[in-house]
Amino acid sequence: MTTPTPNLSHPKYRPDIDGLRAVAVLSVVAFHAFPTWMKGGFIGVDVFFVISGFLISTIIFENLDRGTFSFSEFYARRIKRIFPALILVLTACLIFGWFSLLPEELNQLGKHVVAGAGFVSNLVLWSESGYFDNSAETKPLLHLWSLGIEEQFYIFWPFLIWAVWKRQLNIFLVTFSLLIGSFILNIWLIHTNPIATFYSPLTRFWELLCGSLLALYSLRKAKSGIINSYFFTAKDNLSSQFESKLFNQLVSPSVISFVGLALLIVGFYLINKDSWFPGYWALMPVLGAAMIILAGSEAWFNRKILSNKIFVWFGLISFPLYLWHWPLLSFGRIINFDTPSLRYRTVAVLLSVLLAWLTMKFVERPLRFSSHNSSLKVFGLSISLIALAFLGVIFFSSNFQDSHSFDELSVKRKGEHAIGSSLSWYQGKDDWLFLWNNNDNTVAKLKLALKPSELNLNEVKESFFKVAEAGNRFGIKTFLILGPNKSSIYPEYLPDGLVPSDKKYISFFLDELRDIPGLAVYDPTNDLIKAKDTEGILYWKTDTHWNKKGAYLAFAGFTGLLNLQPPDVNFKQGATRGGDLIGISKLKNFPLNPQDNWDVVWHERPIWTEIDIPNEQETTFGVATLVTNDKPLYNQYVWVVGDSFSEILRQYFNATFHKVRYIGHWGNKMESLPDEINKAERKPDLIVIVRVERSF
């Protein structure tokens, strides 16, 4: 490549940027440790993106201009900057995980170590998002998703800019075009695929590219040769004097900085985990950070506040602090089976600050800034990270069932609901498998070891009330069909010692929901318990859901409340079926029972057509669809908002009604459903919400 001189030059040090790093990292730490105090603190990551784009692009542009750019030195510096602290934290997580995690947790930690070492954590987490994915709080390396975005940018961006520079193309137009393309993709996908939009580098690169544009602007003001020659046209250069007057006389740097600060503060206050983020919301932290950087080091806020020694110190330890704080909080969440106490979280934050300072002083600085044996350091760091990745593969692929049960863990956990060696499933009598407490606190709810808070009850009631109220305005009846937990129908197959409470957790919610005008609630639990002695097995023994016969009996109970008849069907014994709990447990050669699987035999097989509904959000269970049956039992138009328990009901809905619109998952649609009812040109005759018991 181009290497006329041996060393890359670095931009002039700006203490205010380290101060801005402090704002970014402290907001993220505050959000993770004290989420009710700093609901929008996670936007600090977006501030980091802008800073990274600015600094990295400044280095690349300046050194291309001077003819001193070297790919080998650029990536060697990135290795010395990123690898030392990352290797230390990954190693610490593996060691502590060995003594505190259950088998499937160790497997997942190993996978995340590999992803972190390969800087693809964002892609792995994206692929993991699903119905039975464990809580984000129990993934100690969850926070490495942002490092993956940055490193993917560092791999792509230098080569692209070097190629553009070699061909003497307009770098401003290339940068701006990529920025706009990435931002448009972010806006386009945020409502239909929010998880992909959050984790994908393609929908995040615009944030780093905003920093790149800032770097271009800064170099333009400095009138660098490459900027004048390749980045802008001559006409553009003539306007620089006007811009200088505009930003120094009409709009002072201090005003720009304060506007940027205001955007960050408003973002911290308004944005929360339920916002469609990034989307348009990300403009607040991105533009806020960009304006603070643009204002320069002499702006009052930058000079007096951000350049303060305390802010600068936190900025200097920001990277190791970011790496350390989340594993400490996450392992606390895992060991406590719940959100750790305020005292624990406070101590964890203070400990992460101490570890970050020690990491910077004794690990980062000696390896990063000492020129002694630089090539050997880069080689050693690279080999160490590769070795960690191989160790992660071993953790991921090994079977720890015999060595890491609850009773055998060195770090004891508060396991009042602990069963066996898994967080996701447990085995009952007669080869029945059940979901464990990791999924919506299922076991704790079964034992009534916890009760719903007033806040939780009110939130659920309010969401259903708004839907029923919107329906009432147009004469639309709203139904809730509850999908009972398997343990509610077959408690006799639970392990010895696991005794369900006489009062059910779900009853707190159903008592509230039955008071809502216009909402009819159908809980098929009692009907299914009565039917199981005569109708055969109604739930798959190795699955979390009702089978086709169980679903039909629930549907028949629902249509009975409407004074309607269900489709005329019979059932015959089907082939053996594995089920989702086989996949979750990874059990091999587990005995399957053909008596728990039924095939539907239609008296007169219905025919329907199904089309995707465009511009609707895709959920775990696919895209929204509209089903039309030209020979239905009843000429009604029904909306269904459901979850996995609605999937088996679909064939019965399709056979019964003329049109059925499957809107999506209730978790994604309950908030927007009242507005959709108001705006719909054709109103439904009936709205049905199918929701599994454990989700309340």
Contact call for residues 433 and 427 (beta carbons, < 8 A)? yes
Which has more confidence, 614 or 469? 469
Average predicted confidence (pLDDT) for the chain: 90
Other C-beta atoms closer than 10 Å to the C-beta of 610 total 13
User: pLDDT category, 415, cuts 50, 70, 90?
Assistant: low
* pLDDT at residue 645, rounded to an integer: 94
Q: Record the tokens describing residue 308, joined without a space.
A: 């303060």
Any idea which of 62-71, 88-97, 405-414, 524-533 has the lowest mean pLDDT?
405-414
User: pLDDT category, 245, cuts 50, 70, 90?
Assistant: low
Domain segments of the chain as ranges: 24-397, 434-695
pLDDT per position as a tens digit, 12-49: 899 999 999 999 999 999 999 999 899 999 999 999 99
Q: Is 681 helix (H, G, I), strand (E, B) or coil?
A: coil
pLDDT per position as a tens digit, 277-336: 999 999 999 999 999 999 999 999 999 999 999 999 999 999 999 999 999 999 999 888
Q: Record the tokens describing residue 28, joined without a space.
A: 């993220």
What does pTM read for this prediction?
0.78
Stretch 639-660: mean pLDDT, rounded? 95
User: pLDDT category, 668, cuts 50, 70, 90?
Assistant: confident
Q: Which of 640, 687, 645 is nearest to 664 (CA)?
A: 640
Other C-beta atoms closer than 10 Å to the C-beta of 549 total 25
pLDDT per position as a tens digit, 503-512: 999 999 999 9
Stretch 349-376: mean pLDDT, rounded? 92
* pLDDT at residue 276, rounded to an integer: 93
pLDDT per position as a tens digit, 425-465: 889 999 999 988 777 888 889 999 889 999 999 999 999 99
Q: Which amino acid would we find at residue 282?
A: A
* pLDDT at residue 142, rounded to an integer: 96
Q: How many Å separate Cα 604 from the centre of its chain?
A: 45
Alpha-carbon radius of gyration of the chain:
29
Helices 144-166 and 71-100: angle between axes, nearest 10 degrees: 170
Distance from C-alpha of 169 to C-alpha of 165, rounded to nearest angstrom: 6
What DSSP string runs through 221-280? HTT-HHIIIIIS-HHHHHTHHHHHHIIIIIS-HHHHHHHHHHHHHHHHHH--TTS-TTGG
pLDDT above 90 (res 203): yes
Q: Is 472 helix (H, G, I), strand (E, B) or coil?
A: helix
Structure letter (DSSP) for residue 354:
H
End-to-end alpha carbon distance in the chain: 60
- Count CA atoms within 13 Å of residue 552 on its CB side: 24
Contact call for residues 599 and 572 (beta carbons, < 8 A)? yes
Distance from C-alpha of 292 to C-alpha of 311, rounded to nearest angstrom: 15
Stretch 488-492: mean pLDDT, rounded? 96
Of all helices (H) and strands (E), which one includes residue 6?
Answer: none
pLDDT above 70 (res 567): yes
* pLDDT at residue 4, rounded to an integer: 44
Contact call for residues 674 and 476 (beta carbons, < 8 A)? no
